[in-house]
Structure 1
Amino acid sequence: MFTIYGLSGPIFQGTLEELGRMPPVMARDPVTPVRRIGDQVEAGIAPEASVAATGGLSRSAVEAYQAMMPQNLERGPLYHAQQIMQRKLIIVNSRDNVTHAWRTLVDHQIHQAPVIDDSYRLVGIVSERNLLTKLNVADGRVRDVLARSVSDVMATPVVAATVLTDIRRIARVMLERDVDGVPIVNDNGELIGFVSRGDILRAVVTDPPLSVWR
């Protein structure tokens, strides 16, 4: 189950499928496929054209790989957010200045942090990318600071998940919404954890292996 939190509070609650009908917080420009020909790079090659040009080698490679895989693979365990989330939260306030937020990320060696208001309500998420649009950082030092607060640069609204959300669904939200982490809330909407890309990668390489096909 996912919830979208904005400055005024929760504005959506529903499943991953329902979330897909909501507009994204941020969107990147579409990536143009490229193909290398010798020392030249040719742009604008459609994926199907690339496969056709190689004589269908991609499909053959996939089929060969599948043929080598054992058919009786034992599925590993499934993981929920509460099993891998970070419980020691590093947060910033929406009224903090951008320099304080940057130092918070750097000092704790993290790439993003949930943003709360004075009532401890989740209102957004701030990342290194957000802050670098307002900061000039050279040699690890902040220079030429613009008078901005976290509320001016944070991404909002923000998608949060419940503790029992399948982490594969959280990973899909990260990809589709272009975010590096998802806050975790309890049934009362209180911020209690955070799942980053690194947390999911660690779960994938855990022994016994994570089941990614169920």
Structure 2
Amino acid sequence: MFSLYGLSGPLFTGTLEALGRLPPVTRRGPAAAVRAVEERIESAEGGAAPAAQTTPARQAVEAYQSMLPENLERGPLYHAEQIMQPRVITVGADDDVARAWHVLVGHQIHQAPVLDAGRRLVGIVSERNLLTTLNVEDGQVRDVLQKRVADVMTTPVVAAHPLTDIRRIARVMLERNVDGVPIVDDGGALAGFVSRSDILNAVVRDPPLSMWR
């Protein structure tokens, strides 16, 4: 299950397929908008596509599955909560961009979820966002524009429930061109973060991952 969190709070909750029907997530400020992603596999309510719309790709998958031995051992299906980082470094929407930069560099991370004054998820900020407002020379920040994190962050931000299949999270990363997905609990509180490296580590540590449901 996925959600979109923006400055006004939760904007959407639904399936990956329904998420694909929404307008693209954009970065605030001068940074370019993330490309649009369109998908029509399932309806917004999560219903399966009619059989008449079976695609060649789906036919190929079904043909491959029909050739597999019935007793083939499946690898474990991982959920976000099993691989996420529970200790999440965050920045505030009202923080200045220089402070946010030092937080990312100091913790050796490339992005961080953004929380408002009420500790609600409202966006995500990356090094790329921050470099639109400052220059770095010999490791020192200079030529800083008077901007807050809220002015340059990406919002709304795609978030996932702890029980979301990591293959679907990986799909969101690829289709929406993001490097990580915040994980929120049933109450909307930030519970963790899944990055590309977390998924790659799971593949390396515990092969084989099951490819089929």
Q: TM-score range by the shorter chain?
A: 0.7 to 0.9
Rate the CA distance shift 1:18–1:28 in 2: closer, same or farther, 3 A.
closer
Does the residue aligned with 1:205 lie in a helix, a strand or coil? helix
The amino acid of 2:164's aligned partner reads T
Residue pairs, 1:4-19, within 5 angstroms = 4-19=4-19
1:24: how far off?
A: 1.2
Give unpaired runs (5+ residues) of structure 2.
26-32, 37-63
Give CA deviations for 1:21-55 in whole Å, capped at 9, x if unaligned. Answer: 011113259xxxxxxxxxxxxxxxxxxxxxxxxxx
Alignment of 1:126-165 (within 5 A): 126-165=125-164
Partner of 1:173: 172
Q: Based on CA coordinates, which of the two structures has the bigger radius of gyration?
A: 1
Q: Identity rate of aligned residues, in percent? A: 71
The ranges of structure 1 where at least 4 consecutive aligned residues each deviate by more than 3 angstroms after the TM superposition are 70-74
Decide whether the 8 Å contact of 2:35 with 2:176 is kept in 1: no
Letter in 1 for 2:153: M
Match of 2:113 in 1: 114
| Structure 1 spans left out of the alignment, 5+ residues | 30-65
Rounded Cα–Cα distance in structure 2 between residues aligned with 1:213 and 1:131: 39
Instruction: Give the counterpart letter for 1:19 in structure 2.
Output: L
Match of 2:182 in 1: 183
> What aligned pairs does 1:11-30 form with structure 2 within 5 A after superposition?
11-25=11-25, 26-28=33-35
Q: Distance in 1 between matches of 2:11 and 2:138?
A: 40
- Counterpart of 1:126, as a letter, is V
Q: Distance in 1 between matches of 2:184 and 2:35?
A: 27
Tell me, yes or no, if the aligned pair for 2:173 and 2:181 is still in contact at 8 Å. yes
Give aligned pairs, total.
175
Query: Matches of 1:207 and 1:16 in 2, distance apart?
Result: 25
Q: Which digits, 9 at most, give the CA deviation of each residue in 1:124-150, with x for residues without a partner?
A: 000011011111111211111111110
Give the match for residue 198 of structure 1. 197
Residue equivalent to 1:78: 77
Q: For residue 107 of structure 1, what is the amino acid of its counterpart?
A: G
2:148 and 2:207 map into 1 onto residues whose CA distance is: 44
Cα distance in 1 between the residues matched to 2:15 and 2:205? 27
Partners of 2:123 and 2:206 in 1: CA distance: 34
The aligned residue for residue 36 of structure 1 is none
Q: 1:36-78 CA distances to partner (integer Å, 9 max, x unpaired)?
A: xxxxxxxxxxxxxxxxxxxxxxxxxxxxxx9xxx965632111
Q: How many Å separate the matches in 2 of 1:109 and 1:128?
A: 11
Q: Which amino acid aligns with 2:17?
A: E
Structure 1-normalised TM-score? 0.78
- Alignment partners' CA distance in 1, 2:134 and 2:145: 7
What is the CA deviation profile of residues 82-137 of structure 1, one whole-angstrom value per residue up to 9, with x for unaligned ones?
Answer: 00000011000000000110110111011100000000000000001101111111
1:23 is matched by which residue type in structure 2?
A: P
